[in-house]
Amino acid sequence: ATPLAIMVGTGRGAQLGVLVKGPEALEDTREVTTIVLDKTGTVTEGRMTLVASETPGLTPEQADVLLDSAASVEARSEHPIAQAIAAARPARVPVKGFRAIPGSGVVATVKGAGADGANAEVHVGSRRLFDEVPEVLEQAAHAAEGEGRTAVLVGRSPVAAGGLGMGGLAVRTPLVAEALLVVSDAVKPTSAEAVRAFRELGLDVVLLTGDNSRAAQAVADEVGISRVIAEVLPGDKADVVRTLQAEGARVAMVGDGINDAPALAQADLGLAVGTGTDVAREASDLTIVSGDLRAAADAIALSRRTLGTIR
């Protein structure tokens, strides 16, 4: 590209609400064939709220103990799901030994969380954390996911220190889900139009998320995306981009989270959502200042026109 092309491109880019890191970024923008969109915080607003909870078989008092325990554990996590749960239930119980399991959930020891008032480990997260999910919770989770919502399960286990059984073998009781929390996150009002614009540019559009497939599919249907890659662990998002590249695609990736940074760096063109994390911005070539994905389509259209005419 000539210096003029860069000036024109970056000037209009700024008007569209796109920050361009360097001249090469425009060249890469022009050649993109596939655009991969992160779900939470990119296609959706990324501001979750707790919309329902189910605690089958528990008395109201038992349910409060379990859900306040879950909220107290989530108060230690920065995940948008955690923030929704912690905000909805402000009562706090003492918590220690907090651990996050990336892409799955959180666990900690909570004072008095056991059914008998003993301390217990409280687990909050996706299905993959649990050994057993009772049918009634499974069905309620399916129904919520079918509407694009995220189902979060809660369960408890005895504190590990008491877990040495006969013959010195650690005995682990199966972890059973006892409660369901449903969190909801609205799709951005401009996302469907942005997807339409990407398709008009001839791009393949892919939705990529760590969330459940059913919830991801519901969001994809709402905005008109036909290809969904869901239940991807944070460390595996970059591999998905690499696989698409190995199939011959020139990949643009749009993301907002710390989780997305390796995939943004791996992509031929990384686009950060300006409302997201610094880490995502640093790993990207372009930043969509407002988070409106239509600006990404404008940037691709513009780079094709600008670089196409000047050279």
256 binds, among ligand ADP, Mg ion, none (CB under 5 to 8 A by kind): Mg ion
Alpha-helical (H) ranges within the chain are 3-16, 23-30, 60-74, 80-88, 135-146, 191-200, 213-223, 237-246, 261-266, 278-282, 294-310
The SS3 assignment for 45 reads coil
32-40, 174-182, 227-235, 243-251 -> range binding Mg ion (CB under 5 A): 32-40
C-alpha closest to that of 190 among 284, 93, 294: 294
The distance of closest approach from Cβ of residue 255 to Mg ion in the complex, given in angstroms and rounded to an integer, is 6
Q: Distance between CA 88 and CA 54 in Å, rounded?
A: 14
At residue 179, φ and ψ (nearest 5 deg) are -145, 155
The distance of closest approach from Cβ of residue 308 to Mg ion in the complex, given in angstroms and rounded to an integer, is 32
Nearer CB in complex with Mg ion: 31/222: 222
The distance of closest approach from Cβ of residue 123 to ligand ADP in the complex, given in angstroms and rounded to an integer, is 9
86 binds, among Mg ion, ligand ADP, none (CB under 5 to 8 A by kind): none
> Is-catalytic flag, 38?
yes
Nearer CB in complex with ligand ADP: 82/307: 82
Number of other CB atoms surrounding residue 303 within 10 Å: 27
270 binds Mg ion (CB under 5 A): no
* Positions in the binding site for ligand ADP (CB under 6 A): 39-40, 74, 77, 79, 81-82, 103-106, 124-126, 150, 152, 209-211, 234, 257, 259
210 binds, among ligand ADP, Mg ion, none (CB under 5 to 8 A by kind): ligand ADP
What is the maximal distance between C-alpha atoms in the chain?
78
Q: Which two tokens stand for residue 243?
A: 């696989």
Query: Edge to edge, what strands does the sheet with 34-38 contain?
Result: 18-20, 286-288, 269-273, 251-255, 34-38, 204-208, 227-229
Nearer CB in complex with ligand ADP: 16/225: 225
Nearer CB in complex with ligand ADP: 125/274: 125
The CA–CA distances, whole Å, from 58 to 50, 67, 85, 89, 293 equal: 20, 11, 19, 18, 44
41 binds Mg ion (CB under 5 A): yes
Catalytic residue among 28, 38, 211, 285: 38
Nearer CB in complex with Mg ion: 257/291: 257
Catalytic residue numbers read 38
